[in-house]
Amino acid sequence: MRKNGRLFIILGVGLACLAVALAFLMFQNAGQSQAVEKAPVTVKVVTVTKDVPAHQKFVEADLGEETVDKDLLTGGEAFAKSEVLGTAPKVGMIKGQRVKKGDLETGGLSNDIAPGKRAVTIPADHLNLAAGLLRDSDYIDLVFSTKVTLSYVLPTRPIEIDTATAAEAEIKAILPVSPPGDPSAYAYPGEPGSRFKIQGQDKKGDPVSKVILQDIKVLRVVAAPAPQQDQQQQQQQAAAQTDMLILELTNEQAEVMKFILDNGATYSFAVRGKDDHEPVQSTGITFDVLITNYQLPTPKSVRLPGEKQP
């Protein structure tokens, strides 16, 4: 009996230990399940990586992301950079601040203009737009072309006038006598030592071209609307619509551009490479520069054999 009693005691102790172990495991699993259920849900929100003044458009370098607990959101946060790019803050923002949609405004033209600059609109054709490849934020140089009419002041010899009295109503003009010149001293145009001008086909002035404005930012490229099929008859009668460029200019550059537009000159654009903002000095070009610096050949007069002219 004693042996059986001891056996029961050992079995009872073992069952008690097993029950305690099972209870411990059950409480541990319950705690783990509660911990899993209470794990915070995180989301990414858009922040600013540096101070951004009011009304300045956001660019990629201005924006970053921060992972936060979803329960800590206050509402209105932006969750993707694509929601923010192209907009501007209504008020200034500091580094690390979260971007909220309610604090943003749609960026207009004024948001893109640098301090001290102005937006100036000029017409442009398809050729000036680099065959349609010119884009916003490109930089260009402006080539100015016009025709200049030169007025020559011819030197005159002094004239001595001998006037008589009223009774002798006769006025005499005495010109100084000059020796006859050598006709061969005046070379024909094109001959060595000759002096002449080269003009364009219309002979309305001497053509000249010069790069006068450099490193100009293109704010907008505004393409003319395509004509509708049923409106072509009306558009042929109306003024032709052209493409437009909106340039960022200083006041002085805006005056130069206005002068060009108002005085019948022409202009074209030279597109700059990326990150190329170095000004370049140039002399401009005329026909005489082409002849002297670029060896443009000039036509010569043809002299037939025969007696020497007096």
The reply to whether 271 falls in a domain is: yes
The reply to whether 155 falls in a domain is: no
Query: How confident is residue 237, by pLDDT bands cut at 50, 70 and 90?
Result: very low
Evaluated on CA atoms 212, 215, 219, 220, the torsion sign reads: positive
Q: Which of 231-240, 257-266, 269-278 has the lowest mean pLDDT?
A: 231-240
pLDDT the model gives residue 196: 64
**Domain limits at 84?**
42-110
- Please say if the pLDDT value at position 247 is more than 90: yes
The reply to whether 27 falls in a domain is: no
Within its chain, how far is the Cα of 191 from the centroid?
A: 47
Same domain, 99 and 208: no
Q: Which of 60-69, 94-103, 167-176 has the lowest mean pLDDT?
A: 167-176
Same domain, 138 and 46: no
Number of domains, the chain: 2
Q: Which two tokens stand for residue 112?
A: 């893109």
The reply to whether 31 falls in a domain is: no
Task: Report the 10 Å Cβ neighbour count for 99.
Answer: 25
The reply to whether 99 falls in a domain is: yes
Residue 1, CB half-sphere, CA atoms under 13 Å: how many?
0
Same domain, 288 and 220: yes
Tell me the mean pLDDT in the region 259-274: 88
Same domain, 58 and 140: no
Q: Which of 9-23, 160-174, 295-309 has the lowest mean pLDDT?
A: 160-174
Same domain, 139 and 253: yes
The reply to whether 273 falls in a domain is: yes
pLDDT the model gives residue 148: 74
The reply to whether 205 falls in a domain is: yes
Ranges of H-type helices in the chain: 2-37, 232-237, 251-262, 287-294
Same domain, 223 and 273: yes
Contact 110, 60 (CB under 8 A): no
The reply to whether 310 falls in a domain is: no
pLDDT, tens digit (0-9, with 9 covering 90-100), for 21-31: 777 777 666 55
Same domain, 81 and 129: no
Q: What is the per-residue burial (b if ≥16 Cβ within 10 Å, else e) of 189-212?
A: eeeeeeeeeeeeeeeeebbbbebb
Give 228-233's long-range contacts (Cβ < 8 A, gap of 24+): none
Same domain, 122 and 260: yes
Tell me the mean pLDDT in the region 261-277: 88
- Please say if the pLDDT value at position 166 is more than 50: no
Q: In a 3-state reduction of DSSP, which class is residue 116?
A: coil
CA distance 58 to 100: 13
pLDDT the model gives residue 171: 47
pLDDT the model gives residue 252: 95
Same domain, 277 and 222: yes
- In the chain, where do the E strands start and end? 42-48, 63-69, 87-89, 104-106, 118-124, 139-148, 160-163, 171-174, 206-222, 243-249, 266-271, 285-286
Higher pLDDT, 5 or 80: 80
Tell me the mean pLDDT in the region 173-177: 48
Tell me the mean pLDDT in the region 213-222: 91
Domain end, chosen from 110, 141, 160, is at 110
pLDDT the model gives residue 27: 67
**CATH number where 64 lies:** 3.90.1210.10
Question: What mean pLDDT is reported for the chain?
Answer: 77
pLDDT the model gives residue 200: 60
- pTM assigned to the model: 0.56
